[in-house]
């Protein structure tokens, strides 16, 4: 029986009463639907194959990986690690109970300093007092579980503050918990705690995280075992502030009944010299060259061009251009470049000599951690010369704690007494460091200039020296104008100490750039730098660097007005901004008004002045420049003074939708904020809290951005 009989050329396809039961085509219809060419057949085959693949996906192929979640786990929470309990509980009180711990040391760290302090403190608690301390990343535990810590335990908090009073990324959950104490009626009557904050007084919200935590804990009736203390890195005093706090903390431990024991050095790493040959150079695969916060691989970049922007006495400002070439690196306008410096040869030689290791200078050795928690600082195979030149911070000041620790290896009783005198007296050591730059090599030579310190274990030196860190510079070129070239603007820093004789502390990275640039003034730097990457002697032709992304970006719409506030080399990213605006204007797009505030000593220090004047002409005077010279004769003007003078204009532009950017020292940015907030309060007739809410709203919308440093 024929159930379906419709031809393709039927003019009327409206269904009749029996059409809904017609389903089977005739043999004639099937022949009509058969492929008429090879292309039709291929298309039909692909269609059927695709349909089959879609239907069977997840059943016969591409089955879900049952271990896919591992990609999203934190390394410390992965199965098989030393922290297996993290897979089963995030309750800190349960960890303390099951692990037999006496206390927990929480750390909130953005750059790694608080984490390093916490790990060192944990080791000292065990070694000096027998206190079994759990060192805890705040993000590994539910903040609410802190409320369930028993009275026979106590907690120590090491909390860093950065930016606009922000907590570290790993303290986000803890921060949210603190700020909602009032809503949840949190009570912490059983919590006994001590706290230490890391911050910089040049910033507006100095140690804000510690202050908020202390207030919240007090409100919740927690017991503070000792007054909280704060580190101030404005003058590099963090290490000394920490040591003073630890002195008080250890006194607290003694008052709680813990007996302090004398500590003998126990290495956390094994150093073994080998006969395996290795060239006298470094690799870019060192652990220190791959910090967790990098956004790109570390690469050697060729110096294309370098010039001095000014050179006066002991002050130099260098403009350097780096060729990205085939490195694979790319950047966007407003990003940062991290330059990995090299320690001067004279400092390398000084340390090797004072340790009596001249004969082992180029012998290869391996470093093996004694525990899973010890993080490597050096490549798996290296030499002393390479380690001291490329990987360890041998030019940094020595903390007073290390002075006490190294005294046990003194070659003479007199040398030991000298070190103990400095190490046990904070005021005495501050006097010494204010007049003399004290590195590890210089400290050992000062204590005993006649004999070598060959009793100091190499493992001790590696453990106590910090890894060499990069210096971040705002990129002063536009990726639109120069996509394969990065410009750096660096002030060469040299600080004279008033000792007898006077000593000069040279900025490591800035003098490295000056030396690498091959400028004539580099001979005045007095630094001998032997750069070596892999097996190629570069002789200043390349530097190691990586790119760090930034949120300090221009608005998408070129018609958005801009307010640019800078001092000194803080102008670097604004040079890139102006270059980009000039290029966009050249292709016919509308450009908003640009009001640039720039401060420096005098007109001779006005970096890129001719470029700015040229861009003013190109932009048809849409760029207005307001200068603030502090040493030009007559009244001293600083950037914040000019902001106060033009505050109403700035406020009017912000209200009209302008974006404001501030770049330079944090102290300058703080003063600029204060000037504007004063004018906002008086103009709008609002109080301090309303002013703060107004500024915070602009910052959250990306209309008020700052890129500042201490």
Lowest mean pLDDT among 438-447, 516-525, 576-585: 516-525
Instruction: Give pLDDT, residue 498.
Output: 77
User: Does the structural domain 562-709 have CATH classification 3.30.413.10?
Assistant: no
Instruction: Give pLDDT, residue 17.
Output: 42
Task: State the SS3 of 241-254.
Answer: HHHHHHHHHHHHHH
**pLDDT for 67 beyond 50:** no
Lowest mean pLDDT among 245-254, 462-471, 513-522: 513-522
Q: Identify the burial level of 67 via C-beta atoms within 10 angstroms of its C-beta, where 0-12 means exposed, 13-18 middle and 19 or more buried.
A: exposed
**pLDDT for 322 beyond 80:** yes
**pLDDT for 667 beyond 50:** yes
Calculate the average pLDDT of the chain: 85
Residue 677's contacts (CB-CB under 8 Å, 6 or more residues apart) are 691, 692, 695
420 SS3 class: helix
Distance, in Å, from the CA atom of 150 to the CA atom of 342, rounded to the nearest integer, reads 49
Instruction: Give pLDDT, residue 11.
Output: 42
Of 359, 364, 369, nearest to 382 by C-alpha is 364
**pLDDT for 442 beyond 70:** yes
**pLDDT for 527 beyond 50:** no
Whether the Cβ atoms of residue 580 and residue 543 lie closer than 8 Å to each other: no
Distance, in Å, from the CA atom of 490 to the CA atom of 511, rounded to the nearest integer, reads 9
User: Does the structural domain 90-255 have CATH classification 3.30.1280.10?
Assistant: no
Q: Where are the beta strands (DSSP E) in 274-346?
A: 299-312, 315-323, 336-340
- Identify the DSSP state of 511: H
Task: State the SS3 of 109-139.
Answer: CCCCHHHHHHHHHHHHHHHHHCCCEEEEEHH
Distance, in Å, from the CA atom of 383 to the CA atom of 361, rounded to the nearest integer, reads 7
Looking at residues 83-106, what average pLDDT do you find? Answer: 82
Instruction: List C-alpha distances in Å: 359 to 1, 122, 362, 383, 604.
Output: 104, 36, 8, 12, 50
Domains 90-255 and 269-293+343-464 share a fold: no
Instruction: Give pLDDT, residue 608.
Output: 97
Of 544, 502, 509, 542, nearest to 527 by C-alpha is 509
Please tell me the number of Cα atoms within 13 Å of 368 on its side-chain side.
6
The radius of gyration computed from the CA coordinates of the chain, to the nearest angstrom, equals 32
Looking at residues 87-116, what average pLDDT do you find? Answer: 90
**pLDDT for 242 beyond 60:** yes
Whether the Cβ atoms of residue 258 and residue 103 lie closer than 8 Å to each other: no
Beta bridge partners of 312: 315
**pLDDT for 122 beyond 60:** yes
Looking at residues 229-255, what average pLDDT do you find? Answer: 91
**pLDDT for 82 beyond 50:** no
Question: The pTM is what?
Answer: 0.77
Of 270, 268, 277, nearest to 381 by C-alpha is 277
Please tell me the number of Cα atoms within 13 Å of 671 on its side-chain side.
17
Whether the Cβ atoms of residue 563 and residue 654 lie closer than 8 Å to each other: yes
Residue 382: phi and psi, rounded to 5, are -155, -175
Lowest mean pLDDT among 307-316, 330-339, 455-464: 307-316
Instruction: Give pLDDT, residue 287.
Output: 59
Instruction: Give pLDDT, residue 709.
Output: 85
Looking at residues 254-262, what average pLDDT do you find? Answer: 91
Distance, in Å, from the CA atom of 97 to the CA atom of 85, rounded to the nearest integer, reads 12
For tokens 């002991």, the residue is 314
Query: How many other C-beta atoms lie within 10 A of the C-beta of residue 598?
Result: 25
Distance, in Å, from the CA atom of 633 to the CA atom of 667, rounded to the nearest integer, reads 23
Looking at residues 599-625, what average pLDDT do you find? Answer: 94
Confidence of residue 279 (pLDDT cuts 50, 70, 90): low
Lowest mean pLDDT among 146-155, 470-479, 540-549, 581-590: 540-549
- Answer with the residue of higher pLDDT: 539 or 640: 640
Per domain, the residue ranges of the chain are 1-63, 90-255, 269-293+343-464, 562-709
Among 17-31, 288-302, 645-659, name the most confident range. Answer: 645-659
Is the bond leading into 698 cis (omega within 30 degrees of zero)? no
Query: How many other C-beta atoms lie within 10 A of the C-beta of residue 242?
Result: 24
Looking at residues 519-540, what average pLDDT do you find? Answer: 42
Looking at residues 478-498, what average pLDDT do you find? Answer: 92
Instruction: Give pLDDT, residue 51.
Output: 77
Instruction: Give pLDDT, residue 39.
Output: 75
Of 278, 312, 537, 530, nearest to 382 by C-alpha is 278
Instruction: Give pLDDT, residue 581.
Output: 97
Confidence of residue 316 (pLDDT cuts 50, 70, 90): confident
Distance, in Å, from the CA atom of 633 to the CA atom of 383, rounded to the nearest integer, reads 54
**pLDDT for 534 beyond 50:** no
- Answer with the residue of higher pLDDT: 300 or 87: 300
Instruction: Give pLDDT, residue 23.
Output: 46
Distance, in Å, from the CA atom of 183 to the CA atom of 201, rounded to the nearest integer, reads 31
**Fold of the domain built from segment(s) 269-293+343-464:** NADPH-cytochrome p450 Reductase; Chain A, domain 3 (1.20.990)
């Amino acid at each position: 029986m024929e159930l379906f009989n419709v031809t393709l050329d039927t003019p009327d396809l409206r269904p009749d009463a029996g059409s809904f039961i017609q389903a089977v085509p005739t043999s004639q219809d099937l022949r009509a639907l058969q492929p008429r060419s090879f292309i039709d057949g291929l298309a039909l085959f692909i269609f059927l194959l695709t349909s089959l693949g879609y239907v069977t996906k997840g059943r016969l192929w591409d089955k879900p990986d049952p271990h896919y979640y591992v990609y999203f786990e934190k390394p410390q929470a992965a199965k098989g690690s030393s922290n297996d309990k993290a897979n089963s509980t995030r309750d800190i009180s349960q960890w303390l109970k099951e692990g037999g711990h006496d206390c927990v040391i929480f750390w909130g760290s953005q750059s790694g300093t608080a984490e390093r302090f916490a790990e060192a403190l944990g080791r000292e608690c065990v070694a000096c007092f027998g206190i079994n301390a759990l060192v805890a990343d705040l993000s590994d535990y539910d903040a609410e579980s802190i409320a369930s810590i028993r009275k026979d335990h106590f907690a120590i908090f090491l909390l860093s503050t950065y930016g606009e009073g922000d907590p570290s990324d790993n303290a986000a959950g803890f921060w949210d918990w603190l700020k909602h104490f009032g809503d949840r009626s949190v009570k912490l009557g059983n919590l006994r705690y001590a706290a230490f904050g890391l911050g910089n007084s040049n910033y507006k919200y100095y140690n804000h995280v510690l202050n908020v935590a202390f207030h919240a804990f007090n409100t919740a009736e927690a017991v503070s075992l000792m007054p909280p203390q704060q580190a101030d890195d404005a003058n590099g005093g963090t290490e000394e502030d920490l040591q003073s706090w630890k002195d008080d903390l250890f006194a607290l431990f003694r008052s709680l009944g813990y007996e302090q024991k004398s500590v003998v050095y126990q290495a956390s790493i094994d150093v073994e010299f080998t006969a395996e040959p290795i060239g006298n150079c470094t690799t870019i695969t060192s652990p220190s060259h791959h910090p967790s916060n990098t956004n790109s691989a570390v690469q050697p970049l060729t110096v294309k061009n370098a010039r001095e922007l000014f050179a006066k006495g002991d002050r130099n400002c260098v403009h350097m251009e780096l060729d990205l070439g085939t490195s694979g690196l790319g950047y966007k306008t407003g990003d940062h470049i991290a330059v990995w410096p090299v320690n001067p040869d004279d400092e390398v030689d000084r340390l090797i000599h004072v340790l009596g290791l001249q004969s082992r200078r180029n012998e290869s050795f391996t470093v093996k951690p004694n525990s899973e928690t010890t993080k490597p600082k050096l490549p798996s195979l290296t030499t002393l010369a390479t380690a001291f030149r490329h990987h360890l911070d041998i030019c940094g000041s020595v903390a007073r704690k290390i002075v006490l620790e190294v005294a046990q290896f003194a070659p003479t009783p007199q040398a030991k007494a000298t070190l103990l005198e400095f190490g046990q007296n904070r005021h005495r050591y501050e006097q010494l460091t204010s007049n003399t730059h004290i590195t590890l090599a210089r400290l050992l030579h000062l204590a005993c200039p006649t004999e070598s310190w060959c009793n100091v274990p190499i493992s001790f030196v590696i453990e106590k020296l910090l890894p060499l860190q990069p210096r971040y510079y705002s990129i002063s070129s536009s990726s639109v104008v120069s996509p394969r070239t990065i410009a750096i603007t660096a002030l060469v820093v040299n600080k004279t100490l008033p000792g007898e004789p006077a000593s000069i502390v040279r900025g490591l990275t800035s003098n490295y750039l000056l030396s690498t640039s091959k400028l004539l003034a580099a001979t005045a730097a007095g630094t001998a730098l032997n750069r070596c990457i892999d097996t190629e002697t570069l002789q200043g032709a390349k530097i190691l660097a990586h790119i760090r992304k930034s949120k300090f970006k221009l608005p998408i719409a070129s018609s958005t007005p801009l307010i640019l506030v800078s001092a000194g080399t803080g102008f670097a990213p604004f040079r890139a901004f102006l270059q980009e605006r000039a290029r966009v204007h050249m292709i016919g797009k509308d450009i908003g008004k640009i009001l640039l505030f720039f401060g420096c000593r005098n007109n001779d220090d006005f970096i890129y002045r001719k470029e700015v004047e040229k861009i003013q002409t190109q932009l048809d005077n849409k760029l207005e420049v307001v200068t603030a010279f502090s040493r030009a004769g007559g009244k001293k003007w600083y950037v914040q003074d000019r902001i106060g003078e033009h505050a109403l204009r700035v406020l009017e532009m912000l209200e009209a939708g302008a974006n404001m950017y501030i770049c330079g020292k944090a102290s300058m940015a703080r003063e600029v904020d204060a000037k504007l907030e004063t004018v906002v309060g008086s103009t709008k007739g609002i109080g301090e809290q309303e002013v703060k809410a107004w500024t915070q709203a602009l910052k959250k919308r990306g209309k008020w951005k700052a890129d500042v440093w201490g």
